[in-house]
């Protein structure tokens, strides 16, 4: 199998979408920020027999190194030991952290940097993530006949489940002083996306999932992003509720009671938090899930091309960096994510690495991407 060394020196760093190379069937990046292509599909390594039954588009495997520039991307690419060592060396060369005062500045001004990002790009940068329904059928269970929908995850019949939720709502109201008329209180299937940006996951869900009992919540650290969601003509208060929320502040309240969500979605968002804040944030989100509810995540993996492109002076701490626009990003391992979810009391359904070889045929360049995809369920 063709296994060239990682080509990170060949990919110029850029900070505007105008210098991004357009590569079919793969995300674009602006200084490490993901912009998902609508046609992207995933093939994941280390998958279980159950995973192999899922319909997937990505089935292009490189068996002849002479054919590497015949296509724009190759799936399920395993790295050689030499490649991994080269990646480790590159990371170790650039791991001198910035002074503590600079780190604190980026931490305290995090919302400002994301507001500036969305002020500049508005809704022109990210594309709708339609691939989500292949990889995460929980977002539209009725769309995928092979997916076993679990609208009632508690083991109760529907009448008892409704009664349970009403009692839970009353208990929550007694503690919080609120009433049961929270947004989506009458819904039977509730989804929350954390880090919604301008709605590139939310609006495809609303278009695709026609369940009359569906209600989608979405929140973001950036008030600018949330305002862009609310002003979108497809925003419907009868099916969706957008709000500003700081995931790192575990004391901040949600507009929904604990134990009320079927699905929580985190797409390239956990990596934006300081590593010290991740565990408390995941544990807080887990409390919002119903018994049997699932948390879905897709984020950057260790030694992804975006990590290898960072130059000296961008490292905040080990595997944690600041981009040119002030936004931050962490690069995970599978074990790190598993520990976060397990500590929050969730059970593993899926924890996979997606390694992809992207090819720029015009400039004869090869580029390696690494993402991690997880599904974790709250025990019934």
Q: What is the CATH number of the domain that holds 227?
A: 3.40.50.150
pLDDT digits (tens, 9 = 90+) for 282-313: 999 999 999 999 999 999 999 999 999 999 99
Is 103 among the domain residues? yes
Q: What confidence score (pLDDT) does residue 380 get?
A: 86
Whole-angstrom distance, CA of residue 304 vs CA of residue 29: 12
Q: What confidence score (pLDDT) does residue 124 get?
A: 60
Identify the domain containing residue 355 by its residue range.
81-125+183-378
Residue 96, pLDDT > 50, answer yes
SS3 135: helix
Give yes or no for a contact between 111 and 31, defined as CB atoms under 8 angstroms apart: no
**25: its two tokens:** 């069937």
Work out the number of other CB atoms within 10 angstroms of the CB of residue 300: 23
Q: What confidence score (pLDDT) does residue 252 get?
A: 93
To the nearest whole number, what is the mean pLDDT of the chain? 77
Distance of CA 103 to the CA centre of its chain: 24
Is 90 among the domain residues? yes
187: left (phi over 0), alpha (psi -120 to 50) or beta: beta
Crossing angle between the packed helical segments 275-288 and 334-343, to the nearest 10 degrees: 50
Angle in degrees, CA 187, 348, 73, rounded to 5: 95
Is 360 among the domain residues? yes
Is 32 among the domain residues? no
Is 72 among the domain residues? no
pLDDT digits (tens, 9 = 90+) for 99-124: 888 888 888 888 888 788 888 776 56
Q: What's the pTM?
A: 0.75
Residue 276, pLDDT > 60, answer yes
Is 330 among the domain residues? yes
Is 276 among the domain residues? yes
Number of structural domains (the chain) is 1
Is 348 among the domain residues? yes
In this prediction, residue 2 has a pLDDT band, given cuts at 50, 70 and 90, of very low
Whole-angstrom distance, CA of residue 331 vs CA of residue 131: 22
More confidently predicted of 272 and 69: 272
């Amino acid at each position: 199998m063709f296994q060239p060394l990682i080509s990170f020196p060949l990919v110029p760093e850029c900070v505007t979408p105008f210098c991004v190379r357009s590569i079919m069937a793969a995300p674009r990046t602006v200084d490490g920020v993901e912009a998902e292509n609508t046609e992207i599909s995933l093939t994941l390594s280390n998958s279980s027999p159950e995973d192999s039954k899922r319909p997937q588009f990505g089935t292009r495997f490189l068996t002849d190194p002479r054919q590497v520039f015949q296509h724009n991307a190759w799936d399920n690419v395993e790295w050689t030991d030499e490649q991994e060592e080269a990646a480790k060396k590159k990371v170790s060369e650039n791991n001198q952290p910035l002074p503590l005062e600079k780190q604190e500045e980026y931490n305290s001004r995090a919302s400002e940097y994301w507001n500036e990002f969305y002020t500049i790009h508005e809704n022109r940068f990210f594309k709708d993530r339609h691939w989500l329904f292949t990889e995460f059928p929980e977002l539209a269970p009725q769309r995928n006949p092979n997916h076993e929908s679990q609208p009632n995850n508690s083991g109760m019949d529907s009448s008892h489940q409704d009664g349970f939720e009403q009692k839970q709502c009353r208990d929550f109201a007694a503690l919080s002083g609120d009433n049961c008329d929270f947004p989506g209180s009458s819904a039977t299937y509730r989804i929350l996306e954390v880090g919604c940006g301008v709605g590139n996951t939310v609006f495809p869900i609303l278009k695709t999932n026609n369940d009359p009992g569906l209600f989608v919540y979405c929140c973001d650290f950036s008030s600018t992003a949330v305002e862009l969601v609310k002003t979108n003509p497809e925003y419907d208060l009868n099916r969706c509720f957008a709000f500003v929320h700081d995931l790192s502040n575990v004391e901040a309240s949600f507009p929904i009671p604990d134990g009320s969500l079927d699905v929580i979605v985190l797409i390239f968002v956990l990596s934006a938090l300081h590593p010290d804040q991740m565990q408390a944030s995941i544990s807080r989100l887990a409390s919002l899930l119903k018994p049997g509810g699932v948390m879905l995540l897709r984020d950057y993996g260790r030694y992804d091309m975006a990590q290898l492109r960072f130059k000296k002076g961008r490292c905040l701490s080990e595997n944690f960096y600041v981009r040119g626009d002030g936004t931050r990003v962490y690069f995970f391992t599978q074990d790190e994510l598993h520990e976060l979810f397990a500590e929050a009391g969730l059970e593993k359904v899926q924890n996979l690495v997606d390694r992809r070889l992207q090819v720029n045929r015009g400039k004869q360049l090869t580029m390696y991407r690494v993402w991690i995809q997880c599904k974790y369920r709250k025990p019934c």
